[in-house]
Amino acid sequence: MVGTVIAHPVFGPILEQEGAGFTYFRRHAGSFELRTFTLVFGSLALLSLVIAGGFAAAGAWLIVPFAGLEIAALLTAAAVFLRRAGDFERVAVLGDRVVVEFRERGLAEKFEFHRGWARVVTGKSGMPALRSHGRTVEIGRYCGDEGRQMLARALHSRLGGHRT
Amino acid sequence: MEAAHAHHGHQGHDDHAHGHPTGIMRWIKSTNHKDIGTMYLWFSFTMFIVGGIMALIIRSELFQPGLQIVQPDFFNSMITYHGLIMVFGAIMPAFVGFANWLIPMQIGAPDMAFPRMNNLSFWLLPPAALLLIGAQFMPGGGAGVGWTMYAPLSTQAGPAMDLTIFAIHILGISSIMGSINIITTVLNMRAPGMTLMKMPLFCWTWLITAYLLVAVMPVLAGAVTMTLTDRHFGTHFFNAAGGGDPVLYQHIFWFFGHPEVYIIAIPAFGVVSQVIPAFSRKPLFGYASMVYATASIAILSFMVWAHHMYTAGMPVEAQLYFMYATALIAVPTGVKVFNWVATMWRGSLTFETPMLFALGFLFLFTLGGFTGLVLAIVPVDVQLHDTYYVVAHFHYVMVAGALFSAFAGIYFWLPKWTGRMYNETLGKLHFWLSLIFFNVAFFVQHFLGLAGMPRRIPDYALQFAEFNAISTIGAWGFGLSQLLFLYIVIQCIRGGEKAPEKPWEGADSLEWTHLPTPAPWHSFETPPVLK
C-alpha cells in the first residue's frame, strides 16, 4: 500500500492513500513487550515462591497455598493481557471495496462491503457501524467518541451514501 | 515533558457505556479509574474518622491515671482496631485512591489495565471494614490482641478474632488485585515516548509498592490462616505445647509488617516528589537517584524485619546483622531527603497548603526516621521496646509521613479532580492546626517512652500523668482539626471558586499539561505522543 502516514490529532495514525481511498488502523493500547512482560510477571511469581518456600522450610507451610493463589492470579492477568495484546482494527477504502478487519480478544474477523452500497449508521451499542445488504459491523473500537465521529464522517464522505 | 500533540486527551469514550452513568449504579458498577479513585479516597476518609474516634477513646482514657471511661478489654480492642483500621482501611486505600486517579493520567493511559478488577478491588473493602467494625459486637467484644495479632493472644482470643482474620483475607485479596492492576498499567499502558525513566516519580513509587504488596501479602494471609487453624482445627503452628513456636508468628508477621511500613511510606514519597518541585518551580533534583533510592529502600525492607523483635530472643550475630541492615536504610532515605531539599534550593518557593503539608512531611518524617535509627540500635531498643517511644516513632512515620503527604496530595490535586479551588486560608489553618496538635500529641510520647511508660496499657503510674494529659489534649486538637479538612473539601466541591486550567504553575506532569481542569470523564483515549 502506497501512501503517507499522518499522525491524526484525534484518532491516531491514518494511512491516507492517493486518490479517494484511506486506511484507518488502531491497536489495543499497550506498551509491553512480551519479553518484559515475562520478566516482570515471572520475577513476581518467583519472588513469591521463594518467600513461601523459605517459610515452608521453617515450618510455616500454609503460606505456600496463598503464594500459589497469587501466582494463579498473576497467570490469569497474563492470559487476559496476552489475549488482548494483538487486538487491532483496520478500516480501509480500497477502490470499490470497503474492508473492515479486527481482532478482538484474540478472535480475528474480516468484512468486505461494496463501496457504492455501504452506509455509515449508528450501531446497537451507539458506536458507528457500516451496513450493507443486511450486514452491519461496528467500527471505532479503540478510539473515543470524538474519534469515532471523525472516523464516521471520513468514511461517510467516501462512501456511496455520501450526498453533496 | 514536551509532547507532539497537546489537545487530544479528553474525548469522551467508554468501551462499556456511552453516556455518563448516573445515580448509585454509577458508583457500584463503575470501571472508570477516576470514579474508583474517588471512592477509595472517601472510603479512606470514612475509615480515618472511625480509626480516629478509636484513637480519641484511647487518649481520653489515658488523660488521667486510673480507669476513667472504658474497661481494659475494650481499651485493648480499641488499640487493635485503631491500628488495623488506620493501616488497612485509611492510609493504604488513600494512596490506592491517588494511584487510581493519577497513574493513568500521568502515563497517558485511558484507564487502568483491568477496569473491572479495579471495581472489584474497591468493593471488597467495605465488607472488610464492616467485619472489622462488627468485630466489636461479637461475644466478648473485639479482639484485644494489637494490630500485630501475636500468638498466643490471637489463638486464644474470642470469636471477634475470626472476623478480623476474615477481614484481613479480604483486604489482602483487594491489595493483590490492585497491585497486579497497577503493575500492568504502569508497564503496559504508557503513552508512546513515556519511557520508564520519564515517568513522574509518583508512578515509580507505586510500581515499587505494588511489587512489595505482591511479595508480602501471601505471607500475611498465611500467618492469619495458621492462627485460624491453630484456633479451630487443632494445628500447633504457634503453640509451644504442641511443638509449635509463637516466635515463628512474630517472624512471619514482621516479614510482612516491615515492608508494610514502606508500602505506606513509598507512595507518600511519590506524592511529595510531585508537590515539592511544583512549588519550587524546579524539576525534581536527582530524579534517577530518587528511583534507585526508592527501589533500594524496598529491597532493604525485606531484610530488616527482626529489628521489631530484638527482645524476643535471637543470637547476638542476628541482632548485629539486623541492626546494621536497619541503619543501612538511612542511606537511600537520606538520598531522598537530600534531593527534596536540593529541589527547593534556590527555587522560586511559594507556600500554598500542599507545599506546607509537604514541608511538614519532610521535617516530621525525617524526625521519625531518626528515632527509627535510635530504635535500630539493639541495646537502646532493649530499653525502649514496647514503650511509648516506639508509639511516638511510628506515629511520626505514619501520621506525619503518610497522612501529611496524603493531605499535601489532596490539596494539590483537588482542583484537577473537582475543577474548583479550596479555600487557601482555611487550608493553611488546617495545616498549622494539624502540625501543632500533632506535635503536642506525639512529641511528648518520646519523653513518656524514655521514662519507661509501656504501650498498650489503660492505666499508668502517676509520674506519667502530665505528659499523658498533654498528649490527650493534642490528640483531641488534631482529631477536631480534621473536621475542618472535611469542611474545606466539601466547600470546595460544592461552591469553591472555579479552578484555572493550571493552578500550580510549576506542575509539569501530564495531568496538568495535557488535560483540562477538571479532568474529563475520560482522558487519553488516544495516547499523547511525547518527545
A18: domain CATH number is 2.30.29
Same-domain check for residues A22 and A98: yes
CA distance B485 to A107: 51
Residue B214: list chain A partners with CB under 8 A. Answer: 44, 47-48, 70, 74
Is B262 part of the annotated catalytic residue set? yes
Q: Hey, what domains does chain B have and what are their CATH numbers?
A: 23-513 (1.20.210.10)
Q: How many CB atoms lie within 10 A of CB B317?
A: 8
A161 domain-assigned: no
Q: Is the pLDDT of residue A70 over 80?
A: yes
Residue B218: list chain A partners with CB under 8 A. Answer: 48, 51-52, 63, 66-67, 69-70
Residue spans of chain B under pLDDT 50: 1-18
CB-nearest partner of B12 from A65, A69, A145: A145
Same-domain check for residues A59 and A101: no
CB-nearest partner of A73 from B5, B176, B229: B176
Is B260 part of the annotated catalytic residue set? yes
CA distance A40 to A37: 5
The predicted-structure confidence for A74-132, as pLDDT tens digits, reads as follows 999 888 877 777 788 888 888 888 999 988 777 888 999 998 889 999 888 788 999 99
Domain that holds residue A120: 3-28+86-156
Same-domain check for residues A94 and A150: yes
Residue A122: list chain B partners with CB under 8 A. Answer: none
A–B CB contacts, 8 A cutoff, strictly below? 131
Contact A17, A3 (CB under 8 A): yes
Is B522 part of the annotated catalytic residue set? no
B198 touches chain A (CB under 8 A): no
Same-domain check for residues A98 and A141: yes
The predicted-structure confidence for A14-60, as pLDDT tens digits, reads as follows 444 444 467 888 777 666 667 777 888 899 999 999 999 999 999 99
Same-domain check for residues A55 and A94: no
Tell which of A49, A66, A85 closes a domain.
Answer: A85
Give the max Cα distance, chain B. Answer: 69
Same-domain check for residues A41 and A53: yes
Q: Please tell me the pTM assigned to this model.
A: 0.88
A44 domain-assigned: yes
A131 domain-assigned: yes
B239 touches chain A (CB under 8 A): no
Contact A22, A154 (CB under 8 A): yes
* pLDDT (0 to 100) of residue A151: 85
* A47/B13 Cβ within 8 A: no
Same-domain check for residues A75 and A92: no
* pLDDT (0 to 100) of residue B484: 98
Tell which of A44, A60, A85 closes a domain.
Answer: A85
Report CA-CA distances (Å) from B87 to B46, B51, B304, B496: 13, 9, 20, 31
* A146/B13 Cβ within 8 A: yes
* A59/B223 Cβ within 8 A: no
Q: Determine which of B18, B188, B255 to mutate to test the interface with A (most A C-beta atoms within 10 Å).
A: B188
Residue B229: list chain A partners with CB under 8 A. Answer: 62
Q: How many CB atoms lie within 10 A of CB A38?
A: 12
A73 domain-assigned: yes
Same-domain check for residues A98 and A152: yes
CB-nearest partner of B529 from A7, A55, A80: A7
Domain count, chain A: 2
Q: Vertex B65, ends B60 and B68: CA angle to 5°?
A: 50
* pLDDT (0 to 100) of residue A31: 63
A62 touches chain B (CB under 8 A): yes
A57 touches chain B (CB under 8 A): no
Same-domain check for residues A150 and A128: yes
Rg of chain A taking only CA atoms, in angstroms: 23
* pLDDT (0 to 100) of residue A21: 63
A71 touches chain B (CB under 8 A): no
Q: Is the pLDDT of residue A7 over 60?
A: no
Q: How many CB atoms lie within 10 A of CB B476?
A: 18
Complex prediction ipTM? 0.90
* B252/A146 Cβ within 8 A: no
- Split at pLDDT 50, 70, 90, the class of A12 is very low
CA of B117 to nearest chain A CA: how many angstroms apart?
10
The predicted-structure confidence for B44-74, as pLDDT tens digits, reads as follows 999 999 999 999 999 999 999 999 999 999 9
Same-domain check for residues A50 and A96: no
Is B308 part of the annotated catalytic residue set? yes
Is B174 part of the annotated catalytic residue set? yes
A162 domain-assigned: no
Same-domain check for residues A22 and A91: yes
* pLDDT (0 to 100) of residue A3: 40
Number of helices (H), then strands (E), belonging to chain A: the values are 3, 9
Contacts of B375 (CB under 8 A, 6+ apart): B307, B381, B384, B389, B390, B393
Report CA-CA distances (Å) from B363 to B340, B412, B435: 11, 19, 11
Same-domain check for residues A95 and A131: yes
B7 touches chain A (CB under 8 A): yes
A10 domain-assigned: yes
A163 domain-assigned: no
CB-nearest partner of B183 from A40, A55, A126: A40
